[in-house]
Amino acid sequence: MTKTIRLTAAQALVRYLGAQTNEAGEPFIAGVWAIFGHGNVAGLGEALHGVKDSLPTYRGHNEQTMAHCAIAYAKQMRRTRAMAVTSSIGPGATNMVTAAALAHVNRLPVLLLPGDVFATRGPDPVLQQIESFGDGTVSANDCFKPVSRYFDRISRPEHLLTALPRAFRTMTDPADCGPATLAFCQDVQAEAYDYPESFFESRVWYQRRIRPDEAELARAVAAIKAAKRPIIVAGGGVHYSGATDALQSFAETHNIPVAETQAGKSALAWDHPLNLGPVGVTGGEPSNAVCAEADLVLGVGTRLQDFTTGSWGLFSNPQREMICLNTAAYDAEKHGAMPLQSDAQVGLNELGQGLQGYRADPVADTLKSDWFGKVDALTDAPGEGNALPTDMQVVGAVQRASNDDTVVMCAAGTMPGELHKLWKAPRPGAYHMEYGFSCMGYEIAGAMGIKMAQPERDVICFTGDGTYMMANSEMASAAMMGVSFTVVITDNRGFGCINRLQMGTGGAEFNNLLDHTVHDTPSAIDFTAHAAAMGATSVKVTSIAELEEALTKRSEVKGPYVVVIDTDPYPSTEYGGTWWEVAVPEVSTRPAVNEKRAAYEVAIKERNTK
């Protein structure tokens, strides 16, 4: 006879979470972020209290940003561990939708547990319920469907018996990895059911390493052997697979240079001879020059977004082949690429076995030295004068203050482009960029998640004033929890990156920088005081020299340490980069727009004829 245990559905869920481990024997769910409301406080709140000594619960200040923290944790842990996030129904749930989209785009695991309406519909409509006039089964949580890799609605206690294993399969499957959402009806959370005891037995979730199909592998080997000027484009999948050593060995054995996407950066040390550095729109001249002439492009663990491919105008050799080594068939076959569906580590090793004796022609020795000869000067400390520092000089100051244990992170605005081009990552895991969704507001919460994942690392977060204003609330959480990381706020008085894009497409400066917006009273935000009010140690510096001096003190600070510096919103690294398709108006009364439209049409024609 099957042994059972009577538990509420919420109690069953948290007991199940605690029984799931990874290959290293660690709990796969490292903790639960929670903001309680009427949709989850009575059910999940009581259940989490009962396991607080074994499954910690953390309280955030915003549902979106606490989910960002969980996602950053999973990213830094290379998807070997994850966190759960729970909210009430209504606005608490919909606040998490943006974070779900971020996790979906970046293929990162997070378990989202929004409260839902009453399954019985007794109090219908309940507080905060979104009513669909034409579909009685719809709630606000249906917003999660397009941004979840797995979605289920728990409207009976026994639904957990199938839903939870499916959610964990999704989060631990390299090909399907992403957010799993279980919309948990609030009355069902409190309902009891006789669950089989076997459901709560410890289970290990192993990382599946897909081996390549023999025919796909043979075609890829033949294509590479026929190539004279191949290049590898390393994406985030190299990190998630733990394939950085395999990538280095493969590149060295076959003399194939490597270009790094935003997610792939730090796959090789910056000074490795075969690491040509960043690729694409925010890329450098070495990678982009070789990509333009390459007769074969081997994408490894990359989803080939437009910033990587230059809106598919970068790989311009008309004879070039493209191979995509990826665990997901969806990514492996993009744009007619030759698919090689495989785990990155296994795929590189098996490709190497088939390529014995093959070595590509060498690339020019001066590519990297010429590049650094141009850009290193941009990151130097400025001389005497009253000019505002540039973002490049801020990057240089942080670089000089960093060490091999430093992790720099960012997500949106100006700094992703500057860091991709200029940051010299010394080893894998030293660069954490959320540029799949490029979500403003990820930074501070993400920095906390990184530090929680790897407490021994020196975490430095770059954020602009615009992003800081969007989502700074988890600064208070970090202060309360004593999570130590450094935040460098570059205050250029607005959205400097988009202002430059506006100007670059012929537009007038409008509604991006604070000086170009409608206001009765000029903005004078004191970010130093604001961060201090939330519990951070904060300081305002007025020069690059003062910034470097302030950064030397970060190891003395417990909790978040914030350094604010005013910067010039206009300069950016002019070297490197490639075309990016941004639609320019076809009709305008402004000559600058018409000029940019003409150039846009030429670029489109060139891209489409390659």
pLDDT digits (tens, 9 = 90+) for 166-224: 999 999 999 999 999 999 999 999 999 999 999 999 999 999 999 999 999 999 999 99
What are the residues whose beta carbons fall under 8 Å from the beta carbon of 23, sequence distance 6 or more? 80, 204, 205, 206, 207
**Residue 489 within a domain:** yes
Do residues 443 and 461 lie in contact, with contact meaning Cβ atoms separated by under 8 Å? yes
Comparing 524 with 561, the larger pLDDT belongs to: 561
Radius of gyration of the chain (CA): 25
- Please indicate, yes or no, if residue 89 is contained in any of the structural domains: yes
pLDDT of residue 560: 98
Residue 337's CATH number: 3.40.50.1220
Over residues 360-366, mean pLDDT: 92
Mean pLDDT value of segment 244-260: 98
| DSSP conformation letters of 201-269 | S-EE-----PPPPHHHHHHHHHHHHT-SSEEEEE-HHHHHTT-HHHHHHHHHHHT--EEE-TTTTTSS-
pLDDT confidence of residue 381: 86
How many other CB atoms are there within 10 angstroms of residue 237's CB atom? 28
Question: Among 152-156, 361-365, 446-450, which stretch is predicted with the lowest mean pLDDT?
Answer: 361-365
Q: Which of 559, 487, 452 lies closest to 74 in space, CA to CA?
A: 452
pLDDT tier for residue 1 given thresholds of 50, 70 and 90: confident
- pLDDT (average), residues 407-414: 96
Measure the CA–CA gap between 425 and 404, rounded to whole angstroms: 8
- Residues 323-352: tens digit of each pLDDT: 999 999 999 999 899 999 999 999 999 999
The length of the chain in residues reads: 610
Whole-angstrom Cα distance, residue 8 to residue 23? 29
Please, what sign has the CA dihedral across residues 587, 588, 589, 590?
negative
* pLDDT per position as a tens digit, 34-60: 999 999 999 999 999 999 999 999 999
CB 490 within 8 A of CB 476: no
- Is the domain of 15 the same as that of 152? yes
pLDDT higher than threshold 80 for residue 443:
yes
Please tell me the distance from the alpha carbon of residue 123 to that of residue 129, in angstroms, as a whole number. Answer: 10
Burial pattern 333-365, b for ≥16 Cβ within 10 A else e, equals ebeebbbbbbbbbbbbbbbbeebeebebeebee
Residue 590 domain-assigned? no
DSSP assignment of 386-422 equals SPPPPHHHHHHHHHHH--TTEEEEE-SSSHHHHHHHH
Q: How far is CA 464 from the centre of its chain?
A: 17
Mean pLDDT to the nearest integer, 232-243: 98
- For residues 135 and 268, membership in a common domain is answered with no
pLDDT for 281 beyond 70: yes
pLDDT > 90: percent of the chain: 95
Q: Which of 164, 179, 204 is the last residue of a domain?
A: 204
What's the number of domains the chain is made of?
A: 3
Contact status, residue 581 vs residue 311, Cβ threshold 8 Å: yes
Q: Alpha-carbon distance 543 to 567, whole Å? A: 9
Query: Are both 431 and 560 inside the same structural domain?
Result: yes
The closest of 529, 548, 555, 556 to 539, measured between CA atoms, is: 529
Say if residue 414 is in the same domain as residue 561.
yes
Token pair 């602009």 is found at 464
Mean pLDDT value across the chain: 96
Residues 6 or more apart whose Cβ sits within 8 Å of residue 58: 31, 32, 33, 34, 66, 477, 481
The domain boundary, picked from 298, 332, 364, lies at 364
**169 shares a domain with 318:** no
Domain presence at residue 151: yes
Domain co-membership, 191 together with 225: no
Instruction: Looking at the structure, tell me whether residues 137 and 263 fall in a common domain.
Output: no
pLDDT at 347: 98
Residues 246 and 395 grouped into a single domain: no
Residue tagged 């954020």 (tokens) = 463
Tokens read off for 394 = 């801020």
Looking at the fold, whether 384 and 335 belong to one and the same domain comes out as no
Across the chain, how many H-helices and E-strands are there? 24, 22
Rounded to whole angstroms, the Cα distance separating 143 from 92 reads 12
Tokens 């989910």, residue located: 67
Report the half-sphere exposure of 284 (CA within 13 A, side-chain side).
Answer: 29
- In SS3 terms, 166-199 reads as HHHHHHHCCCCCCEEEEEEEHHHHCCEEEEEHHH
pLDDT (tens digit per residue) in 87-142: 999 999 999 999 999 999 999 999 999 999 999 999 999 999 999 999 999 999 99
SS3 state at 596 = helix
Q: Which of 204, 233, 259 is the last residue of a domain?
A: 204
Q: Are residues 416 and 392 in the same domain?
A: yes
How far apart (Å, rounded) are the C-alpha atoms in residues 214 and 372? 42
- Mark whether 219 and 358 lie in a shared domain: yes
Q: Answer whether residue 609 is part of any domain.
A: no
Each residue's pLDDT tens digit, 74-94: 999 999 999 999 999 999 999
The amino acid present at 558, given as its one-letter code, is K
At residue 384, does pLDDT exceed 70? no
CATH number at residue 28: 3.40.50.970
Q: Is 46 contained in some domain? A: yes
436 is in which domain, residue-wise?
370-566
Query: How many other CB atoms are there within 10 angstroms of residue 52's CB atom?
Result: 11
CB 257 within 8 A of CB 546: no
Shared domain check, 553 and 408: yes
Q: Indicate if the pLDDT at residue 385 is higher than 80.
A: no
Distance between CA atoms of 384 and 440, rounded to whole angstroms? 34
Rounded distance, CA 240 to CA 223, Å? Answer: 26
pLDDT at 610 over 80: no
- Report pLDDT digits (tens) over 572-598: 999 999 999 999 999 999 999 999 999
CA separation for the pair 498, 156 (Å, rounded): 48
Average pLDDT over residues 414-421: 97
Q: Which of 221, 350, 357, 365 is nearest to 296 (CA)?
A: 221
Residue 604 located in a structural domain: no
In a domain? residue 601: no
